[in-house]
Structure 1
Amino acid sequence: MSRREQQRLLDIIAALDAIDSHTARGDVSDGLIFDAIRIRLIEVGEAVKHLPADLLTHEPHLPWREIARLRDHLAHRYFDTTHAIVASTVTHDLPQLRRAVEHLLQRLDEDRANT
């Protein structure tokens, strides 16, 4: 894994941390919270789009293509995005994503230690 890949993974973690901070302030039914989370989900999708496919094979249980496509949906079909979809993504999908990204970062650290 290159330094660039590591930075993309760290970008995802930073966006997930920001989402956690936003949800601690309120519910997605609040328009400002919804918008803030939506922007961070776009950042997540953008970072995923720039990760190489061979890296993502180390976490095959995640729907990486769907994560990247969510970015496109949120960015280009804003009015078709419901609060329920965003709330469900935050509650059910982001914890799995965080674990996978942390695992990939750990793998990077181990690879560097072995070289």
Structure 2
Amino acid sequence: MSRHARQRLLDVQAALEAIDAHTRRGDLSDGLVFDAVRVRLIEIGEAVKAVPDDVLTGEPDLPWSQIARMRDHLAHRCFDTTHAIVAATVTQDLPELRRAVERLLEGLGD
């Protein structure tokens, strides 16, 4: 794997850690927390778009294209984004994304 792909996976991890920190500070009903989480979800989608497909096939059960498309939705249709979608993403989808990224990074070694 290229250094670039590894760095983008590390970017996803950093965004996941930031989301955890934001949600520890408050609920998504707080506008600042919601906005901070939304920006980090955009970062995740952007990073995923930069990871080569041959790397992402190492975790075929994740909907990588949907993750990338969510970035587009959050960035370009921000007024159409409901708290329920972001909340469901944070609670239901991000734990599996975190595990998948960890496995991909472990498979790369140093």
Bucket of the pairwise TM-score, normalised by the shorter protein? over 0.9
Q: Please state if 1:96 is matched with 2:93.
A: no
Letter in 1 for 2:14: A
TM-score by length of 1: 0.94
Map 1:11-90 onto structure 2 (within 5 A): 11-90=11-90
Letter in 2 for 1:79: F
- Spell out, residue by residue over 1:1-42, the C-alpha distance to the aligned partner (whole angstroms, 9 max, x if none): 111111000000000000000000111010000000000000
- Gap regions ≥5 residues in structure 1: none
TM-score by length of 2: 0.99
3-state secondary structure, aligned to 2:58: coil
Q: How many residues align?
A: 110
Bigger radius of gyration: 1
CA RMSD of aligned residues (A): 0.6
Deviation beyond 2 Å, 4+ runs, structure 1: none
Q: Percent same amino acid among aligned pairs?
A: 72
